[in-house]
Amino acid sequence: MNGKPQKLDISPKILNNRTMIPLRSIFEACGIVVKWDDKKKTVSDVKGRNKLVLKADSKIALVNNKEKTLYASPIIINNRMYIPLRFVSESFGFKVKWSGDTNTVEINTN
C-alpha cells in the first residue's frame, strides 16, 4: 500500500479469479472507519465523504447511497469478511495494480 508492504493477520484469498481481502486490516491501514452489523451481516466503511455498504453473500453494494453491482460477493470465512479488493478500493478512488507474476496487489491511496 503506497509502496509499503502490509502485514495482515490472515491471508487474502483468490476465489473465482477474484482477489478477496480481509476487510478490517486493509481498511484500517487506509484510515477508513469500519462498522460491522452482525445482525444484518453488513459492513459500512466511511472515509471522508465516501461511504460504502457491503452485505455478506450479496453482489449489490451501496456506494455513496447508489447501488452498484460487484463482480464477487463479500464472503464470511471463519468469522471474517473477505471483500473484492479492486471494487472496494476503486470505490474510494484508490488505484489498484495486480501483478500475476508475483500474486501481489499494489494499492495507491493518493
Residue 18 clears pLDDT 90, i.e. is over it:
no
Count other Cβ atoms within 10 Å, centred on residue 76.
Answer: 11
Q: How far is CA 76 from CA 6, 26, 92, 98, 110, in A?
A: 21, 16, 22, 23, 29
Residue 110 clears pLDDT 90, i.e. is over it:
no
Long-range contacts of 3-9 (CB under 8 A, 24+ apart): 3/106, 3/108
Cell of 53: 455498504
- Residues 47-75, mean pLDDT to the nearest whole number: 90
The pLDDT score that the predictor gives to residue 74 is 93
Q: What percent of the chain is predicted at pLDDT more than 70?
A: 100
Residue 43 clears pLDDT 90, i.e. is over it:
no
pTM for this structure? 0.82
Cell of 80: 471474517
